[in-house]
């Protein structure tokens, strides 16, 4: 005769291991819109618009990197 029991992997009375991850990085960062360029636009003006969008995107990437680094440091530091 086989005997067994089912469990959810937790001992009675222990809270589930859940960490609420902050969403501050997602709220701060915004996607960079593509510049409006028409086929009839001057190529130099279109290049400048595109270059400006790339600079904004690069800045967003740096902000994201710094935000994620800061969040990681907050979680790594001992609670006070």
> pLDDT tens digits, residue range 12-49?
677 767 777 788 888 778 888 889 989 999 999 999 99
- Report how far residue 36's alpha carbon sits from residue 32's, in angstroms, rounded to the nearest whole number: 12
pLDDT at 80: 63
The mean of the pLDDT values for the chain is 81
Please state, for a pLDDT cut of 90, what percent of the chain lies above it. 31
Please state, for a pLDDT cut of 70, what percent of the chain lies above it. 79
Global pTM value: 0.61
Q: Would you say 23 and 37 are in contact if contact means Cβ atoms under 8 Å apart?
A: no
pLDDT at 57: 92
Closest C-alpha among 78, 2, 63 to residue 27? 63
């Amino acid at each position: 005769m086989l005997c067994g029991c089912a469990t959810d992997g937790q001992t009675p009375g222990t809270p589930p291991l859940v960490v609420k991850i902050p969403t501050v990085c997602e709220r701060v960062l915004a996607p960079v819109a593509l510049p409006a360029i028409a086929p009839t636009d001057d190529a130099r003006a279109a290049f400048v618009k595109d270059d400006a969008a790339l600079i904004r995107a690069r800045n967003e990437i740096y902000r994201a990197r710094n935000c994620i680094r800061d969040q990681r440091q907050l979680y790594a530091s001992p609670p006070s």
